[in-house]
């Protein structure tokens, strides 16, 4: 039997990292077992579901290279749900409930006074006649059988049927409840494995009741611990959690985000950094962690840094394009790639890398005052003029040639490298920090480098 997993987001908000991690686990498990990954959009909540959220979910998954083999929308499957519902009613496994909101509230109050957990009392369970002019919900007839299932993280799970009641599977407005549509879709889609948050354990027990009523075998389950904030409470916006596409805007590589979220619940020895191929190769349910993981934004940046260093510069260019200054479009890809090489192992995000190589495409309009005050003094004018003459004869494709020009200048004026290199750096970048001096000169080339040095001298000396 082919392994089939699914990710079933509701388009009532943007895709966040908790949901993305669930998608990652299901996707990797399917691919690790030569199976298929199904995307199901649970858009039955007509008031809260929005097309813009659906589009954002699809965009976020595509950006992270989580590719689905099949997609379905619950809003288009009502006929299927009706068929399954009618079957339960006809077989006497579900029934109409006409109890008013007021009656149910009163029942709840009485049960609480007695110290009981609120539950439906089965008032309409055995009605012989159905009034046609009153609104009703559909409830299941809960079998008096305990619920047992095996979970790949939690082991053997047991729920007493007394913990539940005849729960609703269709509302009075005709819309279907989550647990019902979930089971019907998993049956119809042939889902074999469900990996999701451990906050769904009670839902799983209810869903297994429905599988029994339908006479179907439930899928295998793995309920993973939730992601926590650094204060060990459930991760939320107050911990700095963002939507998936916000991480894209920050300049995080998709493979780095997927790698980091995988490690929040999965381990393979001490290995921290994984390629997509390695994630698929090593993933298994046995390697999922039983304890909750803590989200650390700094660790995510470190993982991103490692992935940026691993990439070929020409591959990194494609990720970097959205962040580049518009002026960079005036330069060849080869030029930008050479620029990338000078900061690839230093920048932590794509946004940071784009900022740090911007000067290659846009010459400085002003100069960092702190750096100028420290390094650009009147006494450096003559050494810079001498260096310029040396640079005119230097080979800018040869680092040794540039090095000779600087060493000759240092020797003649008895200077240390920092005294001449920093003013040159400020002239080239406008700042006191940046790539290696020879790297910059070689990328910018002779004409541009000399022009910028002269411009700085005219402005400041």
Domain boundary residue, one of 347, 362, 377 = 362
Give the bridge partners for 224, in sequence order: 197
Same domain? For 248 and 128 the reply is: no
pLDDT in tens, 148-160: 999 999 999 999 9
What is the average per-residue pLDDT within 282-287?
96
CATH number at residue 372: 1.10.10.350
Q: Which of 88-92, 239-243, 397-401 has the lowest mean pLDDT?
A: 239-243
Q: Which of 62, 217, 237, 290 is catalytic?
A: 237
Residue 7, in any domain of the structure: no
Domain boundary residue, one of 320, 347, 362 = 362
Confidence band, pLDDT 50/70/90 cuts, at residue 240: low
The count of domains in the chain is: 4
Q: Which of 41-45, 129-133, 296-300 has the lowest mean pLDDT?
A: 129-133
End-to-end CA distance of the chain: 78
What is the average per-residue pLDDT within 139-164?
96
Give the whole-angstrom CA distance, residue 86 versus residue 313: 59
Same domain? For 167 and 199 the reply is: yes
Angle, CA of 440, 441 and 444, to the nearest 5°: 80
Q: Indicate whether 92 pLDDT > 90.
A: yes
pLDDT in tens, 415-428: 999 999 999 999 99
Same domain? For 301 and 414 the reply is: no
* pLDDT value at residue 234: 83
What is the average per-residue pLDDT within 210-238?
91
Residue 16, in any domain of the structure: no
pTM of the predicted protein model: 0.92
CATH number at residue 324: 1.10.8
Q: Indicate whether 237 pLDDT > 90.
A: no
Residue 65, in any domain of the structure: no
What is the average per-residue pLDDT within 291-319?
96
Residue 47, in any domain of the structure: no
Q: Which of 127-131, 300-304, 316-320, 398-402 has the lowest mean pLDDT?
A: 127-131
Same domain? For 275 and 410 the reply is: no
Q: In angstroms, how far is CA 174 from the centroid of its own chain?
A: 35
237 is an active site residue = yes
Mean of all residue pLDDT scores within the chain: 95
Residue 4, in any domain of the structure: no
Residue 26, in any domain of the structure: no
274 Cβ contact partners less than 8 Å away, ≥ 6 residues apart: 259, 262, 268, 282
Same domain? For 241 and 252 the reply is: yes
Q: Indicate whether 238 pLDDT > 80.
A: no
CATH number at residue 263: 1.10.1160.10
Confidence band, pLDDT 50/70/90 cuts, at residue 46: confident
What is the average per-residue pLDDT within 292-298?
93
Same domain? For 219 and 82 the reply is: yes
Which of the given ranges, 127-131, 237-241, 305-309, has the highest pLDDT on average?
Answer: 305-309
Q: Indicate whether 7 pLDDT > 70.
A: yes
Q: Which of 122-131, 197-206, 208-217 has the lowest mean pLDDT?
A: 122-131
Give the whole-angstrom CA distance, residue 50 versus residue 11: 6
Radius of gyration of the chain (CA): 32
Q: Indicate whether 327 pLDDT > 90.
A: yes
Q: In angstroms, how far is CA 458 from the centroid of its own chain?
A: 49
Nearest to 40 by CA among 183, 212, 177: 183
Tokens encoding 73: 């929308």
Same domain? For 242 and 370 the reply is: no
Q: Indicate whether 241 pLDDT > 70.
A: no
- Residue 72 host element (H or E): strand 70-73
Confidence band, pLDDT 50/70/90 cuts, at residue 230: confident
| 341: containing domain | 312-362
Same domain? For 94 and 152 the reply is: yes
* pLDDT value at residue 252: 98
Give the whole-angstrom CA distance, residue 120 versus residue 450: 84
Same domain? For 187 and 294 the reply is: no
Same domain? For 83 and 195 the reply is: yes
CATH number at residue 170: 3.40.50.620
**CB of 239 within 8 A of CB of 229?**
yes
Domain boundary residue, one of 362, 378, 399 = 362
Residue 257, in any domain of the structure: yes
Residue 338, in any domain of the structure: yes
Share of the chain above pLDDT 90, in %: 92
What is the average per-residue pLDDT within 227-254?
86
Q: Judge residue 408's burial from the number of C-beta atoms within 10 Å of its C-beta, 0-12 exposed, 13-18 middle, 19 or more buried.
A: middle
What is the average per-residue pLDDT within 319-328?
96
SS (H, E, C) 188-231: HCCCCEEEEEHHHHHHHHHHHHHHHHHCCCCCEEEEECCEECCC
Same domain? For 204 and 242 the reply is: no
* pLDDT value at residue 239: 67
Same domain? For 179 and 281 the reply is: no
């Amino acid at each position: 039997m082919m392994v089939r997993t699914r990710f079933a987001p509701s388009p009532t908000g943007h895709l966040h990292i908790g949901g993305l991690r669930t998608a990652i686990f299901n996707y990797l498990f399917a691919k690790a077992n030569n199976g298929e990954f199904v995307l199901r959009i649970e858009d039955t909540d007509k008031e809260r579901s929005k097309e813009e959220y659906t589009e954002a979910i699809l965009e976020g998954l595509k950006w992270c290279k989580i590719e689905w083999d099949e997609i379905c929308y619950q809003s288009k499957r009502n006929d299927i749900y009706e068929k399954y519902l009618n079957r339960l009613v006809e077989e006497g496994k579900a029934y109409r409930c006409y109890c008013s909101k007021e009656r149910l509230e009163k029942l709840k109050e009485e049960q609480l006074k007695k110290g009981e957990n609120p539950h439906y009392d089965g008032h309409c369970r055995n009605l012989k006649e159905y009034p046609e002019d009153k609104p009703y919900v559909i409830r299941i007839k809960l079998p008096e059988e305990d619920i047992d299932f095996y979970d790949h993280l939690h082991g053997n799970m047991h729920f007493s049927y007394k913990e539940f009641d005849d729960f609703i599977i269709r509302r009075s407005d005709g819309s279907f409840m989550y647990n019902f549509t979930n089971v019907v879709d998993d049956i119809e889609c042939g889902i074999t494995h469900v990996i999701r948050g451990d906050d769904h354990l009670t839902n799983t027990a209810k869903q297994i009741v429905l599988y029994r009523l339908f006479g179907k075998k439930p899928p295998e389950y793995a309920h993973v611990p939730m992601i926590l904030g650094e204060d060990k409470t459930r991760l939320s916006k107050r911990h700095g959690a963002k939507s998936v596409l916000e991480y894209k805007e920050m300049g995080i590589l998709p493979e780095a985000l997927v790698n980091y979220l995988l490690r929040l619940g999965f381990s393979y020895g001490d290995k921290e950094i994984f390629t997509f191929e390695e994630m698929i190769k090593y993933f298994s349910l046995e390697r999922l962690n039983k304890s909750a993981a803590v989200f650390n934004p700094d660790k995510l940046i470190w993982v991103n840094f490692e992935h940026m260093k691993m990439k070929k510069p020409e591959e990194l260019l494609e990720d970097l394009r959205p962040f580049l200054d518009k002026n960079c479009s005036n330069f060849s890809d080869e030029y930008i790639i050479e620029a990338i090489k000078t900061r690839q192992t230093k920048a932590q995000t794509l946004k940071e890398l784009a900022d740090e190589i911007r000067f290659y495409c846009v010459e400085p309009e002003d100069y960092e005052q702190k750096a100028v005050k420290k390094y650009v003094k009147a006494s450096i004018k003559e050494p810079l003029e001498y260096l310029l003459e040396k640079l005119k004869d230097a080979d800018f494709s040869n680092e040794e040639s540039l090095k000779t020009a600087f060493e000759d200048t240092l020797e003649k004026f008895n200077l240390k490298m920092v005294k001449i290199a920093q003013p040159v750096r400020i002239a080239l970048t406008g700042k006191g920090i940046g790539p290696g001096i020879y790297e910059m000169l070689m990328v910018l080339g002779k004409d541009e480098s000399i022009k910028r040095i002269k411009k700085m001298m005219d402005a400041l000396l």
